[in-house]
Amino acid sequence: MEKRGFTFRNGFLYCEDVRVKDIQTDLSTNGIVPSSPCFVYSKEKIVSNISAYQTALKMLNISTLLNFSMKANHTPAILQIVRSMGCSVTLVSGMELKMALKLGFDPRLTVFNGNGKQDWERLLAIEEGCLINVDSPFDLMQTMRMCQKLRKNSNVLLRINPDIDPQVHPFISTGLANSKFGINTEDLEECVTLLEKCSQITLVGLHCHLGSTIHNVSVFRLCTMKLLSLKSELKTRGFNNIKYINIGGGLGINYKQLAERTSPARSSCTMSLEDGYTQTTVQGNNARQLNVTERVSQNDLDYNSGCSELMHDDLKVPTPGGLVECIQSALVDSEVTLILEPGRSLVGNTAILATTVLGTKGNQTKRFIVIDGAMTEVPRPSLYGAYHHIELSEPTDIVQVDKTTNRSSLNDPHRQVYDVVGPVCESTDFLGKERLLPEPHEGCGLAIFDVGAYCSSMSSNYNLRLRPCEVMVDGSTWHIIRRPDTFADLFEPYEGHWQ
């Protein structure tokens, strides 16, 4: 089946078979306040991304468990799709666990992460029989105390900090020795000694999560081999129940696959700090560089194309198949269940933020497009300089559409270099800088792409902004999966407590 996702037709942006402008118009007509901005998801794209992982995992001759990292997006309608396709979830808070239970996920297949867990969260996880990731000696001791209090046993994994550089932005790198996550070499022996003395806790697995937006899949092979080596060492000390090897998630997606369309130089774009991929080969006796990505021409790029394509020859974008291929030989003859817990690469490219242009301003030095979307909906650019592609979602009244390309010409004299900014009272409230775009009319639609991960889930009410509506498109139909906030939602927690 042809993957539709997000495409342009006659100058208008479509999600699957629905015109984005029509969604915005219908929301406004039906009195959804505010109707813009809003998140628009493609169900087909979510299903396609999950299927790509499931197909890749079938290459392995061992048991596997695909867990969606809920912190990437906790919208219930998306989680229901995840569950319907046979996936479980990885959690990082007690409220995420409550959400998983509410939606019918099997708690015995959930992984409960966290470098600092509150007692009520830990108690709930033990009561429900979750796989608990232990992150430190104090985390283990607190889990032991809760097991004794409940008089219940618990299955745990040790989250190991392997000191492997995933070659990503330092803010989202979690596998280095200076990270707050995981058990370092100095603390590992203390944890093992505690486990040897505690009959209520069974060590059933080893876990490692290196970071996010990983492009060099060789680091996963190195991680896998380190965990398998540690498993063998622990077996000599009597730990015979280690079943799970969890290598985390972290695959990057191609945020910049269409960046040349709006690059002022119309040539290779400088990568953001977050993208941060280099060609450096991972060092170590067990590391190797594999050719696990496909190469395509620039003319073939489209939002339909998924994770396997490249924007430029020097930017390798990983695929689930490439990840599995890289670790496959390391898992030969291994009697383990492999856990993968991707988040971004399952939902990142499945959504846009549909916004409306409020106006343009500036001078010959700097020009701005001001929209009704902001850092409150898409915080990643202001957090760590992340890139999101931006384009008008409809023809502007000021520029005619080239019918041969279904979009305005790159050489159109009305195209100018803009910073795309929001209305939040912060200088860091920008969605994109130095983008070559047609001059939009007031009220023109504008889309921020690839916002399915770490946008809705990180959105806020800063400036007392209302978190936006969310919409799911399925073929030629769509429905609201989250209503926008109301003033009552903002005021109710204070009502009766402030006088």
**Any idea which residues carry the catalytic annotation?**
425
Q: Which residues neighbour 164 within 8 Å (Cβ) at sequence distance 6 or greater?
A: 175, 176, 210, 219, 222, 223, 226, 282
The residue with tokens 């000390």 is 237
Q: How far apart are CA 180 and CA 244, in angstroms?
A: 23
19 Cβ partners below 8 Å, 6+ apart?
9, 12, 13
Q: Pairing mode, if any, of strands 12-15 and 18-19?
A: antiparallel
How far are the Cα atoms of 428, 464, 465 from residue 425, in angstroms, in the given order?
A: 9, 11, 11
Q: 270 burial class (0-12, 13-18, 19+ CB within 10 angstroms)?
A: exposed
Token couple for 218: 């060789």
DSSP state, 197?
H
Cβ-count burial 392-411 (b if 16+ within 10 Å, e if not): bbbbbeebebeeeeebbeee
Cα(483)–Cα(470) distance, rounded to whole angstroms? 7
Tell me which DSSP letter residue 465 carries. P
Give me the residue label for tokens 């490249």: 310
CA gap 407, 13 in Å, rounded: 10
* Polymer length of the chain: 499
Q: Are 131 and 88 in contact (CB under 8 A)?
A: no
Nearest residue to 140 (alpha-carbon basis) of 193, 185, 207: 193
Q: How far is CA 111 from CA 95, 123, 190, 200, in A?
A: 14, 14, 23, 18
Helices (H) and strands (E) in the chain, counts: 12, 20
C-alpha triplet 66, 72, 73: angle, nearest 5°: 100
- What letter represents residue 410's amino acid? L
In the numeric block, the tokens 């007031």 are attached to 442
- Assess contact for 452 and 350: CB atoms under 8 A: yes
Lookup: tokens for 364: 């010959």
Mode of pairing for the β-strands spanning 477-482 and 18-19? unpaired
